[in-house]
Chain A
Amino acid sequence: MELHMHAKVKPAAERGNGQRGTLMEIDHPRLGKVQFSPSDVVSFPQGLPGFIHLKSYLLIRNEDTEPFVWLLSADNPQVSFFMVNPLLFCNDYNPNITKRDLTELSIENPQSLLMYSIVTLHSDISQATANLSGPILINLEKRIGKQLVLLDDRYSTKHRILTA
Chain B
Amino acid sequence: MLVLTRRLGETIVIGDDIVIKIVDIHGKQIRVGIEAPSEVSVYRGEIYERIMLENKAAAGAAGDFKTVSESIRKLIPSKDGGSVGS
Question: Which of A's residues lie within 8 Å of B, judged by CB?
Answer: 4, 30, 46, 48-51, 61, 64-69, 78-85, 87-89, 100, 103, 109-116, 118-123, 125-126, 128, 131, 133-134, 138, 147, 149-151, 153, 157-158, 161-162, 164
Contact = CB atoms under 8 A, between A and B. Distances in A.
B8 to A, nearest CB: 23
B55 A128 contact: no
A128 B82 contact: no
Nearest to A76: B59
A151 B44 contact: yes
A68 B69 contact: yes
Contact of B64 (A4, A112, A121): A121
Interface residues on B, range: 35 or more
A114 B65 contact: no
A99 B79 CA distance: 29
Interface string B29-62: 0000000001001011001101111111111011
A133 B64 contact: no
Given A100-B38, A134-B55, A116 B82 contact: yes
B34 to A, nearest CB: 11
B59 A69 contact: no
- Most chain-A Cβ atoms within 10 A of its Cβ — which of B59, B62, B64? B59
A119 B71 CA distance: 14
B65 to A, nearest CB: 5
Contacts of B83: 85, 111, 114
